[in-house]
Amino acid sequence: MSPGKVLELSAILIADDDLVFLHTLATSLRKKGFIPITADTIGKATALQQKHRPASAVVDLKIGSESGLRLIPLLLNVNPNIDIIVLTGYASIATAVSAIKLGARDYLCKPVDTLQILSALNISKLAADHESCTVIPQNRMPVYQLEWEYLQKVLLEHNGNISAAARSLGMHRRTLQRKLNKRSGSR
């Protein structure tokens, strides 16, 4: 940590391109005494992390057209002790494993509420003050979502190199690009 930078224990970085969710979660955290720091892009999240030094982060799996998993090492580079939770509406075992291997504390499926997030971040001061939340059971994931998650995992394994990922998958580069663009546009 550089001189003059203080770790903000009550600050929580939220990186999500869903602006309604972003503002709803920020409002809920603010009401519970936390300082939400919001970003709707990976670049903004990285800059805010360096400026505010939050102890925790909530990162969406897909931020714009980018994988939120890319943000995990960037956040850990600034603060190796940051607690990171990855949220997704498109859960898969492959991305959960990738998130944890990259350094995330937990991986939660949307819909999720503030108490579930705080519990996953192991912020226990709230757990005693509020009744436990109800977990909404998740339905089975459609095949196209599973495919998209797998494509994201392979792309991440090849550091975002579409040509290398396509070769690994045994498909043409343009086919992979089309599948990635089609899924990102339907969200």
Total domains present in the chain = 2
CA 91 to chain CA centroid, nearest Å: 11
% of the chain exceeding 70 in pLDDT: 80
109 and 171 assigned to the same domain: no
| pTM tops 0.85 | no
- Residue 169 belongs to a domain with what CATH number? 1.10.10.60
- Per-residue pLDDT at 2 exceeds 80: no
Split at pLDDT 50, 70, 90, the class of 8 is low
pLDDT tens sequence across 110-141: 888 888 888 888 774 443 344 433 333 344 45
153 and 72 assigned to the same domain: no
134 belongs to a structural domain: no
Question: Which residues fall within 8 angstroms of residue 128, CB to CB, at 6 or more apart?
Answer: none
Q: How far apart are CA 22 and CA 1, in angstroms?
A: 28
Q: How far apart are CA 76 and CA 186, in angstroms?
A: 31
25 and 95 assigned to the same domain: yes
Q: Which domain holds residue 170?
A: 143-185
